[in-house]
Structure 1
Amino acid sequence: MTTSHPPTFTLTVQAEPTALVIHVGGDLDYETCDELMRTADQHLADRRTAQGRLLDLRVDFTGLDSIDSMGLSTLLMIRRRTDAAGVRLHLDGRPPGLERLLEITGTLDYLTAPCDVGKGERRPGAG
């Protein structure tokens, strides 16, 4: 009998003066994406850091091992929510696998476009 090993997944949150950094490690997939969404939602709802207004949400993928379609769907939902909140989204430390997924699905420009914090507008392809 083979035993199944649970997926490896870690989230750590680091607060900066006007930004929040969510460090993602392991596999962002069907089984783990809800945790990332809940974490982002919680901080976007508050829209504040300990030292002021939340202007930037940085998701650091340096420790990402893999991502599936649900992980991508979660990133798209986070982008919609950051736009609505007037918060800039940054996808930092993208490994080659994530970069390739964003390119072949045509979502790279949308997810990395800068947002005008004052108006919540995004400019696809500009960043």
Structure 2
Amino acid sequence: MNKRNPEVKALIERLQQQMNRAVDVFAEVAGDEPSAHPCAMDGNLNDLLAHNAEHAKMHYGQISDRRYSLGVIQKSPRERYLAEWYKERSALIALLLDLPDDALDKESEPGVTTIRKIIEHVLHWDSSSVEDTAKNYGSGGQ
């Protein structure tokens, strides 16, 4: 994807940056504040967020349809597993949204692994597997 598809990579980076900005902006305001944006449909910021989530879902379906029609669906195991891993990582990140910092190191029960330790574990082993692959197969993805 990186060397072979630089335009797709640039679009993915823009989507990621925009989502990071959205999280920063919306985390700072109450959801019941009114929104004048047309996508809120005369509602509040929660309505706007609901619209934005549905908007992404609608266009997800369109892109999936286009990929199918163009004959470029993700059909190899590598393509499917990488896409699945990406979706799972997004879900993991979503669980961290609005989590108070002090919850990272609290044990929910004595002796139970903390959220921070779980995330550090994921980061360590995922990074280890990626860098091992890059080293052994000369793929840097730059």
TM-score (norm 2): 0.29
**Relative contact order higher in (CA < 8 Å, ≥ 6 apart):** 1
More helix by share: 2
Query: Which structure has the greater CA radius of gyration?
Result: 2
TM-score (norm 1): 0.31
